Chain A
Amino acid sequence: MDAHLIADAERTYPDGTTIEARFEVPGPGFSVTVLFGPSGSGKTTILRLLAGLERVSRGTIRFGDAVWSDAGTHLHRPPQARDLGFLAQAYHLFPHLSVAANLGYGLAALSPQARSARVQELLDLLDLQGLEHRHPGELSGGQQQRVALGRALARKPRLLLLDEPLSALDRPSQLRLRKELRELLRKLDIPTVLVTHDRAEALQLGDRLVVLDRGRICQSGDIQQVFDRPTDPAVAAILGVETVVRGRIESIVDGMATLAVGTARLLAADPGGLGWEVFVCIRGEDVAVERGCGPGAESTARNRLPARILALHPEGPLVRLALDGGFPLEALVTRQACQDLGLAEGDQVCAVLKAAAVHLIPHD
Chain B
Amino acid sequence: MPGMDWEAIRLSLSLAALTTAALLLLGLPLAYWLAFSRWRWKFLVESVVAMPLVLPPTVLGFYLLMAMGPRSPLGRAWEGLFGHTLPFSFEGLLLASVLYSLPFMIQPLAAAFASVDRGLIEASWCLGESRLRTFLRVIAPLSWAGILTGVVLAFAHTLGEFGVVLMVGGNLPGRTRTVSIAIYDQVQAMEYGPAARTAALLLGVSFLVLAFTYALRRHQRKPWTLI
Residues of chain A touching chain B, judged by Cβ–Cβ distance below 8 Å, are 51, 53, 78-80, 82-86, 88, 90, 92, 94-96, 105-106, 108-109, 151-152, 154-155
Supposing A92-B119, A94-B120 touch, asked if A86 and B142 sit within 8 A by C-beta, the answer is no
A95 partner residues in chain B, CB cutoff 8 A: 120, 142
On whether the beta carbons of B120 and A155 are closer than 8 Å, the reply is: no
With A94-B138, A95-B142 as contacts: A106 and B128 at CB distance below 8 Å: yes
Q: Which of B120, B128, B138 contacts A80 (CB 8 A)?
A: B128
Listed by A's residue number, 9 A-B pairs whose Cβ atoms lie within 8 Å are A79-B122, A79-B126, A80-B130, A86-B123, A92-B120, A95-B142, A105-B124, A106-B129, A151-B127
Q: Is there contact, CB below 8 Å, between B122 and A96?
A: no
Say yes or no: A108 contacts B141, CB within 8 Å: no
How near does chain A come to B135, taking the closest CB pair, in angstroms?
Answer: 13
A60 to chain B, nearest CB (A): 21
Given contacts A92-B117, A95-B142, A108-B133, A155 and B127 within 8 Å (CB-CB): yes
Verify if B192 is at the interface (C-beta below 8 Å from A).
Answer: no
Q: Which residues does chain B contribute within 8 Å of A51, judged by CB atoms?
A: 122, 126
* A108–B129 touching, CB < 8 Å: yes
- Interface of B, secondary structure class, is helix
Please indicate the chain B residues that have their CB under 8 angstroms from the CB of A152 in the complex.
126-127
Residues of B close to A106: CB separation below 8 A:
127-129
Contact A53 B122 (CB under 8 A): yes
Q: Which of B117, B122, B127, B130 contacts A105 (CB 8 A)?
A: B127
Measured CB to CB, the closest approach of chain B to A323, in angstroms, equals: 45
- Tell me the bound Cα distance from A276 to B116 in angstroms: 59
A53 to B124, CA, bound (A): 12
Closest to B121 in A: A92
Let me know if A78 and B122 touch, CB within 8 A.
no
Closest Cβ–Cβ distance, residue A53 to chain B (whole Å): 5
The 9 closest A-B pairs by CB, nearest first: A106-B127, A92-B119, A86-B126, A92-B123, A79-B125, A79-B126, A80-B128, A96-B141, A92-B120
What is the minimal beta-carbon distance from A199 to any residue of chain B, in angstroms?
27
Contact B125–A78 (Cβ < 8 Å): yes
